[in-house]
């Protein structure tokens, strides 16, 4: 178990380092002069050089990289060009809103996916199954920047149940969470169905039935627990889709989170903030994914044995 833990942690650290490097290099890899893009083509040469000096872009690349990493170690992500405030402060203001949205999206996805997936599996090839799988296909195919406006149209403008946008109270959370959670619910319910169907053919299910357990107990205690393993892995991976989707969902609902900050920063050409947002979201994803793998290994002894050999 220890060696598995260490190997997972080392590889997570390597990925985080790589991600940080790539985010740093983004500004250098992109063709053209970033200063010119920030200030516009008609800017004065003196202004350009002044900004170049302020951002440290006149230094050799390796010096910049060193400064960048020593900044990261001190949680110093630079200063916003637009608001002149430390980027870390801007991020800290926005993180709670995004975490709240992502967690509610995940909750909605779980609440939708488990009943649908289980129903589809135990009533395989019936109308229930067809309905659940149609929902799943639709959920995968609906882009969240269209689902969001549609939900606003029906539930805010026509029915008036929920506010159109903003972040005030629980009611304002419902539509963004549904928008964000639907795609994940669709993928999860498919996976739960497939995984449960596979498990239901196992011998121990027949044994459980033969000893007279209720169908409910067979499904929930014997089948579901075993079917859950691949579902958990998928959930970890799909959390990334959730975090990525949060960017667009936050824009649709004017949700004041990290995603909205990212897009605002792009529109203002506030590159230090863009870099910090991208870095934060990706590192959060890597951390969540690594945690999922560890949980998975904790649940399934086969995985950690594999890691040791």
Q: Which of 1, 9, 266, 305 binds another protein (CB under 8 A)?
A: 266
Of residues 23-62, those binding another protein (CB under 8 A): 23, 26-27, 30-32, 34, 37
182 binds another protein per the rule CB under 8 A: no
Report how far residue 98's alpha carbon sits from residue 256's, in angstroms, rounded to the nearest whole number. 8
- What is the length of the chain? 309
Q: Does 243 bind another protein (CB under 8 A)?
A: yes
**Rounded (5°) CA angle 285-286-291:** 100
* 166 counts as binding another protein under rule CB under 8 A: no
For residue 141, state whether it binds another protein (rule: CB under 8 A).
yes
- Which residues 213-242 are close enough to bind another protein by CB under 8 A? 239-242
Cα-Cα-Cα-Cα torsion 206, 208, 214, 216, nearest 10 degrees, comes to -80
Closest distance to another protein from the beta carbon of 19 (Å)? 5
Examine residue 143 and tell whether it contacts another protein (CB under 8 A): yes
Angle in degrees, CA 287, 74, 76, rounded to 5: 90
Cβ nearer to another protein, comparing 27 with 59 = 27
Contacts of 157 (CB under 8 A, 6+ apart): 164
Q: How far is the CB of 141 from another protein (least distance, A)?
A: 4
Distance CA 200, CA 193 (A): 10
With H, G, I as helix, E, B as strand and everything else as coil, classify residue 81. coil
39 closest CA partner among 238, 306, 270: 270
Residue 9 binds to another protein (criterion: CB under 8 A): no
Which residues would be at the binding site for another protein (CB under 8 A)? 11, 14-16, 18-19, 22-23, 26-27, 30-32, 34, 37, 137-138, 140-143, 145-146, 149-150, 152-153, 157, 239-245, 247-248, 251-252, 262-263, 266-267, 271, 274-275, 278, 281-282, 285-286
């Amino acid at each position: 178990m220890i060696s598995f833990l260490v190997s997972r942690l080392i590889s997570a650290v390597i990925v985080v380092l790589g991600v940080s490097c790539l985010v740093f290099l983004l500004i250098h890899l992109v063709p053209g002069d970033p200063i010119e893009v920030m200030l516009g083509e008609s800017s004065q040469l003196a202004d350009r050089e002044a900004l170049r000096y302020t951002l440290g872009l006149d230094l050799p690349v390796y010096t910049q990289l060193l400064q960048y990493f020593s900044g990261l170690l001190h949680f110093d992500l630079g200063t916003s060009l637009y608001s002149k405030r430390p980027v870390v402060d801007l991020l800290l203001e926005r993180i709670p809103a995004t975490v709240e949205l992502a967690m509610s999206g995940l909750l909605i996805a779980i609440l939708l996916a488990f009943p649908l997936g289980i129903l589809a599996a135990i009533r395989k090839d019936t109308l229930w199954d067809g309905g659940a799988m149609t929902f799943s296909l639709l959920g995968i195919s609906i882009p969240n920047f269209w689902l969001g406006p549609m939900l606003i149209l029906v539930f805010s403008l026509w029915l008036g149940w929920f506010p159109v946008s903003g972040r005030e109270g629980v009611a304002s959370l419902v539509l963004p969470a549904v928008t964000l959670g639907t795609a994940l619910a669709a993928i999860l319910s498919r996976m739960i169905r497939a995984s449960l169907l596979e498990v239901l053919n196992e011998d121990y299910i027949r044994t459980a039935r033969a000893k007279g357990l209720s169908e409910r107990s067979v499904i929930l205690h014997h089948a579901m627990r075993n079917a859950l393993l691949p579902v958990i892995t998928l959930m970890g991976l799909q959390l990334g889709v959730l975090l990525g989707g949060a960017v667009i969902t936050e824009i649709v609902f004017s949700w004041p989170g990290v995603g909205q900050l990212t897009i605002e920063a792009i529109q203002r050409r506030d590159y230090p903030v863009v870099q910090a947002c991208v870095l934060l979201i990706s590192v959060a994803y890597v951390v969540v994914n690594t945690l999922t793998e560890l949980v998975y290994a904790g649940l399934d002894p086969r995985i950690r044995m594999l890691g040791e050999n």
